[in-house]
Copies of this chain bind each other. A is one copy, B any other.
Amino acid sequence: MKDMKRNLEDITNKLKNNNIRPSHQRLKVLEFLDNNRIHPTVEQIYHSLYDEIPTLSKTTIYNTLNTLIEAGLVRILTIEDNEVRYDIRTDTHGHFKCKSCGNIYDFEVDMDLVEVKGLNGFRIYTKDVYFSGICSKCLEQEDGAKIFDKVI
């Protein structure tokens, strides 16, 4: 209870600090991203908030996300064709997509030590890492041989 309120206050301040009016819709979108760290799509966010906000428009989700991205509070993930996802974590971290369940996991990676060849004289601003494979849950649940045979 208290945590919920505190959290909402934090989110409100987060918006205010970035000169973004803390409207009901914006608070709900940011709260959803904070509570559901699943790198959701626009569709997922819209569908999840629709019960609470029956007048909600999908355009508002797009507008809000673009506003949040511009302010650096959210970042966009385009790890695969035809699915754009949104991440409330903006610090450097890697992403793993499970080919079986489709879930996207965060992982920690230190790219500072990685050696690269062919970028002499280049100025690097961002480093993104994207892995894919089968997550531990899917490996446990499903039959090992089955997964091994699956065409990837």
Taking a contact as CB atoms under 8 Å apart, the answer to whether B109 and A122 are in contact is: no
A-B pairs with beta carbons under 8 Å apart, 12 shown: A76-B81, A78-B78, A94-B116, A107-B117, A108-B117, A110-B115, A121-B140, A122-B135, A122-B136, A123-B133, A123-B139, A130-B130
Instruction: Spell out A's residues near B (CB within 8 Å).
Output: 76, 78-81, 84, 94, 96, 99, 105-111, 113-136, 139-140, 147, 152
Distance A78 CA – B107 CA, assembled complex (angstroms): 20
Chain A binding surface SS class: strand
* Smallest beta-carbon distance A121→chain B, Å: 3
Selected from B99, B116, B118, B127, the residue in CB contact (under 8 A) with A125 is: B99
Q: Which residue of B lies closest to A111 (CB)?
A: B114
Determine which residue in A76, A84, A96, A113 has the highest number of CB atoms from chain B within 10 A of its CB, and name it: A96
What 7 pairs between A and B have smallest CB-CB spacing? A121-B136, A107-B118, A108-B117, A125-B133, A124-B133, A123-B134, A128-B130
Distance A108 CA – B5 CA, assembled complex (angstroms): 49
Selected from B106, B110, B114, the residue in CB contact (under 8 A) with A118 is: B106
